[in-house]
Structure 1
Amino acid sequence: MRIYGVTGWKNAGKTGLMERLVADISQRGYTISTLKHAHHDTDVDQPGRDSYRHRAAGAHQVMLSSPNRWALMTELRDQPEPSLADLLPLMTPVDLILVEGYKRAPHPKIEAHRWETGRPLLVDSNPTIRAVASNTVPQNLRVPYFDLDDVPAIADFILAEVGL
């Protein structure tokens, strides 16, 4: 499977870019999945739901199935967080997996950047970043620049990078 990342600081536009890239690339006929790294307090389950109650009771894994989707949740229970390399083989094979986050993982990435965040570009200290998508033109870039809203061009770049 081919993987490509979208990284950047909080509020830099990563999730919006991911959403638009998934729509664009899937409309081109490619199968695409996503893997998002979240912070420690993120929970996909809600208190009071049956699956939450199962986890709260001590279940290591809870699978939820419905006519529209299924989900498998695994409680780490003080075990270390699995690496990206450990998680990727658990995904169903597709043409492309887009990964949000995982700034320091070794896969190639595009950096989403908004000047309003006041944060510096990551590209200057991260050799895995192959391009920058921003709402302002950064100076002295060592990688290609794309307007953050030019999703077709960003998608073209990513697909060429992964050989699709």
Structure 2
Amino acid sequence: MKVVCFAGHAGVGKTTLIERVIPAMKAQGLRVSVVKHAHHKLEIDHPGKDTYRHREAGAFEVVAASPERLVLMREFERPAALSVHHLIAELYDGVDWVFVEGFKHSNLMKVELIRTPGDTHQLYPTDPYVVAVVCDDPALLAEPTGRPVLPLNDAAAVALWLVHNGDRFDYDPTMFDE
């Protein structure tokens, strides 16, 4: 599997870009999974539903499946600090690509999205894991870069670049410390 992290500040357009790149990858016959970092309480179940009732009764894990979907919910007894590598390990291993949204300080290869001119918090100048920058205009960059600069509004170009550079994104879980 190949793993790429889409990094950038909140509101920069990571989710929008990912939701546009996924169909471009699927059109090439590739299967994509997504790992999303959430800063807030994550709630996907609803009161009254069987899975909610099982969880509320104290189940550590609840797995629900239909012919179209599988959902796994795990309740931690106390807050858990899971690394992105823990989350990737939970995914189906037959996937071609994993898109990671967030986890901008991880040791994964990253594509950084930039929308603010000269933002002093841009990752690419010092983060060796940033392998490309995606933005509307290269003039937005705080300083010049030798990395590829990809067009923010061209998901097909981003997908094509990822596929052509796929070897850079091969994921070997043994290479990462938890």
Check if 1:47 corresponds to 2:47: yes
Map of 1:159 onto structure 2? 163
Change (3 A) 1:82 1:150: same
- TM-score, normalised by the number of residues in structure 1: 0.88
Question: Shift of residue 47 of structure 1?
Answer: 3.1
| TM alignment of 1:37-116, pairs within 5 A | 37-92=37-92, 93-115=94-116
Unaligned runs of 5+ in 1: none
> Deviation above 6 Å: which 4+ runs of structure 1?
none
Question: Shift of residue 104 of structure 1?
Answer: 1.5
Q: Output the amino acid matched with 2:108.
A: H
Unaligned runs of 5+ in 2: 170-178
- TM-score, normalised by the number of residues in structure 2: 0.82
Distance in 2, Cα, partners of 1:135 & 1:13: 11
Distance in 2, Cα, partners of 1:4 & 1:68: 26
Question: Shift of residue 84 of structure 1?
Answer: 1.8
Q: More deviation in 39-48 or 129-138? A: 39-48
Question: Shift of residue 40 of structure 1?
Answer: 3.3
Distance in 1, Cα, partners of 2:116 & 2:3: 27
Describe the superposition over 1:65-120 as per-residue Cα deviations: whole angstroms up to 9, x where unpaired: 2232110111122152322222222211211111111111111110122228x674
Percentage of pairs with the same residue: 33
Q: Output the amino acid matched with 1:129.
A: V
Question: Shift of residue 28 of structure 1?
Answer: 0.8
